[in-house]
Amino acid sequence: MTHLVIRLTTLAILSMAIATPSLAPAFAAGSDTPSAPPASDGKSTKEKKKSEKSTSVEDPAFLKGYRAAYSTIYDRGDYAAAIAQLKALDADDRADVANLIGYSYRKLGDYQVSQAYYERALKADPNHARTWQYYGLWQVEQGNRDQAQYHLNRLASLTGPDSAEYKSLAAALEKPPGTGLVY
């Protein structure tokens, strides 16, 4: 009887451990706190230490600068100033930073430079949901609906159809072509 109780207790604990989500903090895409870079980014240990020193998500100076630029974009709509603030962080090889620079250039109408920053963001983190969303919106604005659909499918696999990123891009794709800027 004791062995049965021990086995059942062990099974219950194991089941709870598997079913319980990680307690590690998670940052929503697009928040004013950048996400950590992906674990495997191909950089050497020496390059990682150099970049982590100045752009770590725990670095107070980096966070302050990132949050200021985020506010400049989303609260004030001053995209040119935000680009300068983001570039001053010297971290445009980070997905969050490159994505916001791309977004700002897109809002200013410089689609070629915007595209380059979106691609830089996806190179830094191929699973960066907000970049897939914003680059998909870029595709819609450019009339590239097939490419935008590809971005939407990618978002579906990354975040699911209930995420804000997915819903935003799906809504843009539902609008008739030529309706102007969408986001």
17-70 per-position pLDDT tens digit:
454 443 333 333 355 666 655 554 444 444 444 444 445 667 899 999 999 999
* pLDDT single digits (tens) 136-183: 999 999 999 999 999 999 999 999 999 999 999 999 999 888 766 555
The answer, yes or no, to whether residue 111 has pLDDT greater than 80, is yes
Enumerate the domain spans of the chain.
53-110, 127-178
Q: Give residue 13's pLDDT band: very low, low, confident or very high (50, 70, 90).
A: low
- Whether the per-residue pLDDT at 8 is higher than 80: the answer is no
Q: What is the pLDDT of residue 31?
A: 57
Res 84: pLDDT:
98
Res 21: pLDDT? 40
Q: How far apart are the first and last CA of the chain?
A: 64
C-alpha separations of 68 from 57, 73, 74, 78, 92 in Å:
14, 9, 10, 11, 15
pLDDT of amino acid 87: 97
8 CB burial (10 A radius; 0-12, 13-18, 19+): exposed
> Residue 176: its pLDDT value, please?
84
CA distance 129 to 61: 25
Instruction: Give percent above pLDDT 90 in the chain.
Output: 62
Token output for 87: 């570039």
Q: Is pLDDT above 80 for 126?
A: yes
What pLDDT score was predicted for residue 15? 52
Are 118 and 135 within 8 A, CB to CB?
yes
CA distance 80 to 122: 22
Instruction: Indicate the pLDDT class of residue 123, thresholds 50, 70 and 90.
Output: very high
User: CA-CA distance, 61 to 151, in Å (whole number)?
Assistant: 33
